Each structure stands twice: as structure tokens, then as C-alpha cells.
């Protein structure tokens, strides 16, 4: 028995064109990526300050600022 005769694949096929204009979604993803990047950079800066000063205060301040935004 030939599988192409048994199964009709047309019902499982769909377009793979995902280039629809979704400006609202694009704006949201840019916001999330920007926020994530800024948070990571601030955390790296806090880590460098902790390393240079030997104090945990920069980490605590950055942590409190991040909690304030959430």
C-alpha cells in the first residue's frame, strides 16, 4: 500500500510566511529586549563596583532599584 494514497497531507500543510506586519508585537518585543539589556548592563556595573570596592552596597542598591521597578 502506498502512503501517498492513504494519507492526504494537504490538511496538515500551512503557509510558513511569518512576515505579517505586527507592529504592536514588534514594539512590545523591542521594549522587552531593551529592558532586559539595560538590566543586564546595570547588574554588570554593580558587579564591577562590588569587585572594585569590596562592598556589597552597590549590589544592594541595584537590587532595590530593580525591585522598585517591578
Res 34: pLDDT:
95
Residue 2 lies in a domain: no
The answer to whether 62 touches 43, Cβ cutoff 8 Å, is yes
Domain residues for the domain of 41 are 22-69
Question: 12 in a domain, yes or no?
Answer: no
Identify whether the C-beta of residue 59 lies closer than 8 Å to the C-beta of residue 50: yes
pLDDT of 1 reads 52
pLDDT in tens, 11-70: 888 887 777 777 888 899 999 999 999 989 988 888 888 888 888 887 788 888 878 876
Q: Tell me, what's the pLDDT at 22?
A: 79
In a domain, 1, yes or no: no
Q: What is the pLDDT at residue 54?
A: 86
Count of the separate structural domains present in the chain: 1
Q: Give a yes or no: residue 34 inside a domain.
A: yes
Domain-located, residue 60: yes
Which residues touch 19 (CB under 8 Å, ≥6 apart)?
A: none
Residue 8 lies in a domain: no
What pLDDT shows up at residue 37?
Answer: 94
Cell numbers placing 49: 563596583
Residue 3 lies in a domain: no
Amino acid at each position: 500500500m502506498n502512503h501517498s494514497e492513504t494519507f492526504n497531507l494537504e490538511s496538515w500543510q500551512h503557509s510558513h510566511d511569518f512576515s505579517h506586519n505586527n507592529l504592536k508585537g514588534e514594539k512590545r518585543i523591542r521594549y522587552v529586549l531593551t529592558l532586559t539589556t539595560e538590566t543586564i548592563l546595570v547588574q554588570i556595573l554593580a558587579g564591577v563596583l562590588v569587585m572594585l570596592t569590596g562592598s556589597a552596597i552597590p549590589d544592594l542598591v541595584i537590587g532595590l532599584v530593580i525591585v522598585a521597578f517591578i
